[in-house]
Amino acid sequence: MELRTLRAFLAVAKHRSFTLAADELFLTQSAVSQQIRSLETLLGTALFVRERGAVELTEAGTTLLPRAREVVSLVDGVRDLLDAPRTLAGRLRIVAETVASSFLYVGLYERFARSYPDVELAMRSGIGRAAALAAVRDDAADAAFVTLPADADDLDVDQLGHTELIAVALPGARGDRVLVWDGSPELQRALAQAAVPIAVTSNDVALLKRLVADGAGTAFLPRWAVKPELDAGSLEAVPFDVPAVRQRFGLVSRRAAKSPALVAFLASAHAYKPVIADLCG
């Protein structure tokens, strides 16, 4: 998928006219039409309905629109950064749903700090999903790390990875008491449907891991949160008679003009995806 085809799509969606879109892009109308046909062929679906001179988005086009804006905005922002002769500065306010996210993103923070030493990172974690989303919407934070889906058509969302919720216990000593991380509504529903009695629920992953280490029971946690312990053999994954639950997570920001520092942070997070995939493996 080429960037120019997305620009053509956005121009037609904006003007509801191939002629006006061609004027904006300094192209011929036939060139714009060809780019839209190319994009529709690639996606295997029509993006516009053309009837009696009117141009309207199809359902597929409406779905694509916010994502196309996000991609073009991110690329343009990165180009601005690369072209800018000055050093980035300023202050970024980053919040995270859970304190455990530091395990996933600490490397990202370190990379960003080294690349942009004049940008101050003000970070808060463990504030909960609703509070994290509200902070971004209310301009109390520039971006938030949250579990997905965000159910937020007013926010830009970049899915950074996914993981499995697993049951862990001391090696050879599965406990009867069930401890549950409360960051997954899907997991809560699966346990309720299986009539699993829950002894402890907490958003504190470190606390739950400590309880398991002390022999307090079996805990359901994201795989990325216990990967070091699994690799070291201090904890082991144990079978449990509940459906498998997977969880997506990512970074959200306001769908508005973004500062150069925020654009750089979003681009850094996007580029960090392979590291996150390895941490979740």
Residues in the chain: 281
Q: Does pLDDT of 80 surpass 90?
A: no
pLDDT tens track for 25-34: 878 888 888 9
Mean pLDDT of the chain: 87
Same domain? For 50 and 155 the reply is: no
Please say which residue of 83, 103, 134 terminates a domain.
83
Which stretches does DSSP call E strand in the chain?
A: 48-51, 54-57, 90-96, 119-125, 143-148, 155-169, 178-181, 200-202, 218-222, 236-237, 245-254
Contact between residue 180 and residue 191 where contact means Cβ atoms under 8 Å apart: yes
Model confidence at 82, in pLDDT bands (50, 70, 90)? Answer: low
Integer Cα distance of 263 and 73 in angstroms: 9
Same domain? For 19 and 30 the reply is: yes
Specify the pLDDT at position 85: 44
Specify the pLDDT at position 84: 53
Integer Cα distance of 61 and 43 in angstroms: 10
The domain total for the chain is 3
Same domain? For 253 and 154 the reply is: yes
Same domain? For 208 and 228 the reply is: yes
pLDDT tens track for 116-170: 999 999 999 888 888 999 999 999 999 999 988 877 778 899 999 888 999 999 9
Specify the pLDDT at position 120: 95
Q: What CATH number does the domain containing 185 carry?
A: 3.40.190.10
What average pLDDT score do residues 238-255 get? 89
Model confidence at 79, in pLDDT bands (50, 70, 90)? Answer: low
Same domain? For 212 and 185 the reply is: yes
Please say which residue of 83, 111, 131 terminates a domain.
83
Residues spanned by the domain of 100:
90-160+248-280
pTM for the model: 0.64
pLDDT tens track for 93-110: 999 988 766 778 888 999
Same domain? For 139 and 271 the reply is: yes
Same domain? For 132 and 169 the reply is: no
Same domain? For 151 and 183 the reply is: no
Upstream peptide bond of 149 is cis (omega within 30 degrees of 0): yes
Specify the pLDDT at position 83: 56
Q: What CATH number does the domain containing 42 carry?
A: 1.10.10.10
Q: What percent of the chain has pLDDT over 90?
A: 37
Same domain? For 141 and 259 the reply is: yes
Same domain? For 218 and 265 the reply is: no
Please say which residue of 22, 54, 83 terminates a domain.
83
Same domain? For 174 and 272 the reply is: no
